[in-house]
């Protein structure tokens, strides 16, 4: 079936098989392999993407269900050739080890920061409770998100000063 | 594997009802999909006959939460995230917010819907115990007519409800309850996030001068489906709240659960936990 949607800011149309999930279409048809498949049943969060600004598991959405929606994958998070502050903070805070959970972690925390620019540690923990990381122990990830929130608030203060 | 499917997205309720009217056994309503899609993926027999999915996403009345004089109407495809963010639901039905806040993860709550949860009717459907204590009514439509039924009667057994293939749950009706009710919800899972419930309990209570005027108790996960304990409720109405009453009613609840489930390998753990949980809930509510 034919679907039309916005992918990382660009309008796209594609003829997609009805049995494909969003993750299959992203990886196979668009070759956006930053979105990872872990558990395939909505428990690990490695396949998290944003659908109309909200974090969803792309293994729990059929490609046909995103007709008309806006999808953001990890490939659309960077700003031009530069990493976003959130991505850079993941690196500087040691929040990336094996890297398999990282795209999902970044998209879950990006959805949080877009809705809530001043999250508490508890709110950060809740936002990534659906993303498993077996390397870092989460502490570095939470620090990276916190640091990003502080940076963007500092930028806002500088702009208004 | 996910089969070859026909996926339809009607924009009007009447069109959806037309599409499901043949009741061919191969057509299923898709309201979120967080059970059906992984169910296909793991070749679950429950979904193996499906060849056509009819999505509810474009039908406006299935996504509304609105206030009427004495009730709040929840569209059947309202997501858990939408419930959590609804001022109306927070004001009138706080146990529902508390219960659905603990379902899955942000990602799941952004997709999963209220009717999807109880039509699937897994024993661990966390929206069910609070909906039962609030005496939720379900409005069901087919091509020709509409009927209303109490959720308590709608739920038949694990993964089975009254819903026929030609029918769709359109709305959930919750009567606003008397402001003097207090209540609480408890979930026990093996971890905090993305955890299948092992035990859930929802209790609301109204008291006057330390006498129980009304009480409603519902369990989930620990019983085959979410259920009310009306015998125990009736037994408690009119009684004075004393420490002894809290102990004896907790013991009775444990026995009632055993009567429903029979003795299982896990009973030796679960029964004392249910009793203690219920005691703690009652104690907190009664201290309010």
Which residues from B are below 8 Å from A19, CB to CB? 1-5
Q: Is B52 in CB contact (< 8 Å) with chain A?
A: no
A110 interaction partners in chain B (CB closer than 8 Å) = none
Give residue B270's pLDDT. Answer: 87
Secondary structure of B243-259 as H, E, C letters? HHHHHHHHHHHHHHHHH
Q: Does B33 touch chain A (CB under 8 A)?
A: yes
Convert A114-147 into a string of H (helix), E (strand) and C (coil). HHCCCCCHHHHHHHCCCCCCCCCCCHHHHHHHHH
pLDDT tens string B158-210: 999 999 999 999 999 999 998 899 999 998 888 877 888 888 999 999 999 99
CA distance readout (Å), B141 to A114, A151, B116: 39, 52, 15
Helices (H), chain A: 22-24, 85-92, 102-115, 121-127, 139-160
From A103's Cα to the closest Cα of chain B, the distance in A is 14
- Overall average pLDDT of the B89-111 stretch: 96
Q: Tell me the two tokens of residue B128.
A: 């069910």
Predicted confidence pLDDT, tens digits, chain A (161 residues): 899 999 999 999 999 999 999 999 999 999 999 999 999 999 999 999 999 999 999 999 999 999 999 999 999 999 888 999 999 999 999 999 999 999 999 999 999 999 999 999 999 999 999 999 999 989 999 999 999 999 998 988 888 87
- In this prediction, residue B288 has a pLDDT band, given cuts at 50, 70 and 90, of low
- Reply yes or no on whether the pLDDT at B129 is more than 90: yes
- Reported as a single tens digit per residue, the pLDDT across B63-78 is 999 999 999 999 999 9
Q: Are B122 and B220 in contact (CB under 8 A)?
A: no
Surface-to-core class of residue B27, CB atoms within 10 Å of its CB (0-12 exposed, 13-18 middle, 19+ buried): buried
B22 CA: distance to closest CA in chain A (Å)? 22
Nearest chain A residue to B56, by CA: A65
Q: Using CB atoms, which residue from A17, A42, A130 is nearest to B38?
A: A42
Mean pLDDT, range B229-240, rounded to an integer: 96
A61 CA to chain B: closest CA distance, Å? 7
CB contact, 8 Å: B63 with chain A? no
pLDDT grade, residue B1 (50/70/90)? confident
Higher pLDDT, A72 or B262: A72
Please, what CATH class does the domain formed by A85-160 belong to?
A: mainly alpha
Strand partners, B218: B202, B228
Residue B145 pLDDT more than 90?
yes
Best residue in A50, A65, A111 for a mutation probing chain B (most B CBs within 10 Å): A65
Q: Are the C-beta atoms of residues B228 and B218 closer than 8 Å to each other?
A: yes
Asked if A61 and B5 come within 8 Å (Cβ–Cβ), the reply is no
Question: Domain A2-76: what homologous superfamily?
Answer: Beta-grasp domain (3.10.20.30)
Residues in B touching A67 (Cβ below 8 Å): 9
CB-based contact B37 A60, cutoff 8 Å: yes
Which residue of chain B is at minimal alpha-carbon distance from A50? B107
Give the CA angle between residues A105, A101, A59 to the nearest 5°. 90
Q: Which residues of A touch B42 (CB under 8 A)?
A: 40-41
Residue B162 sits at the chain A interface (C-beta within 8 Å): no
Rounded to an integer, what distance in angstroms lies between the CA atom of residue A148 and that of residue A134?
Answer: 22
At B193 the pLDDT is 79
Q: Which of B2, B57, B105 sits opposite A45 (nearest CB)?
A: B105
Chain A touched by B11 (CB under 8 Å): no
Question: Tokens representing B259?
Answer: 């009567």
Compute chain A's Rg from CA coordinates. Answer: 16
For the segment B14-18, the average pLDDT, to the nearest whole number, is 98
Cβ–Cβ gap B111/A18 under 8 Å? no
| B228, B135 contact by CB (below 8 A) | no
Cα separation, B67 vs B89, whole angstroms = 10
pLDDT at B188: 86
Domain ranges of chain A: 2-76, 85-160
Give the mean pLDDT of B52-63.
Answer: 96
pTM exceeds 0.80 for this model: yes
In this structure, the number of other CB atoms found within 10 A of the CB of residue A112 comes to 20
């Amino acid at each position: 079936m034919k679907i039309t949607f916005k992918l990382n800011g660009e309008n796209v149309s594609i003829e997609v098989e009805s049995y494909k999930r969003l993750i299959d279409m992203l990886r196979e048809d668009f070759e956006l392999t930053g979105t990872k498949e872990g558990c395939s049943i909505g428990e690990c969060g490695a396949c998290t993407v944003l659908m109309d600004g909200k974090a969803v598991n792309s293994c729990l959405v059929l490609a046909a269900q995103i007709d008309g929606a806006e999808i953001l994958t990890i490939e659309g998070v960077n700003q031009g050739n530069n990493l976003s502050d959130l991505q850079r903070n993941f690196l500087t805070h040691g929040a990336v080890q094996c890297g398999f959970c990282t795209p999902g972690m970044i998209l879950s925390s990006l959805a949080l920061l877009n809705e809530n620019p001043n999250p508490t540690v508890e709110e950060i923990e809740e936002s990534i409770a659906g993303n498993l990381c077996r390397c870092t122990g989460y502490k570095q990830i939470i620090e990276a998100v916190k640091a990003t929130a502080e940076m963007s608030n500092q930028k806002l203060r500088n702009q208004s000063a | 594997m996910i089969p070859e499917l026909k996926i339809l997205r009607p924009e009007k309720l009447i069109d959806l009802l037309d599409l499901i009217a043949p009741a061919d056994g191969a057509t299923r309503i898709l309201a979120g999909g967080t059970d059906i899609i992984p169910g296909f993926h793991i070749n679950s027999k429950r979904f193996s006959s499906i060849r056509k999915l009819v999505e509810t996403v474009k039908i406006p009345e299935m996504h509304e939460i609105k206030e009427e004089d004495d009730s709040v109407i929840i569209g059947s495809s309202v997501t858990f995230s939408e419930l959590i963010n609804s001022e109306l639901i927070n004001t009138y039905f706080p146990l529902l917010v508390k219960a659905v806040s603990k379902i899955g993860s942000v990602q799941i709550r952004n997709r999963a819907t209220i009717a999807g949860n109880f039509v699937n009717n897994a024993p661990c459907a966390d929206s069910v115990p609070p909906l039962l204590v609030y005496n939720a009514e379900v409005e069901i439509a087919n091509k020709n007519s509409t009927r209303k039924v109490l959720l308590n009667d709608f739920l038949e057994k694990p993964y089975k409800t009254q819903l026929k293939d030609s029918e769709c749950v359109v709305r959930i009706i919750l009567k606003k309850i008397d402001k003097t009710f207090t209540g609480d919800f408890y979930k026990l899972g093996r971890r905090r996030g993305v955890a299948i419930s092992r035990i859930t309990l929802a209790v609301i209570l109204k008291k006057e001068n330390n006498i129980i005027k009304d009480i409603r108790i519902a369990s989930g996960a620990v019983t085959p489906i979410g259920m009310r304990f009306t015998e125990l409720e009736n037994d408690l109405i009119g009684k004075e709240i004393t420490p002894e009453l809290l102990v004896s009613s907790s013991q009775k609840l444990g026995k009632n659960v055993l009567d429903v489930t029979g003795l299982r390998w896990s009973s030796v753990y679960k029964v004392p936990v249910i009793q203690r949980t219920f005691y703690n809930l009652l104690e907190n509510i009664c201290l309010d």
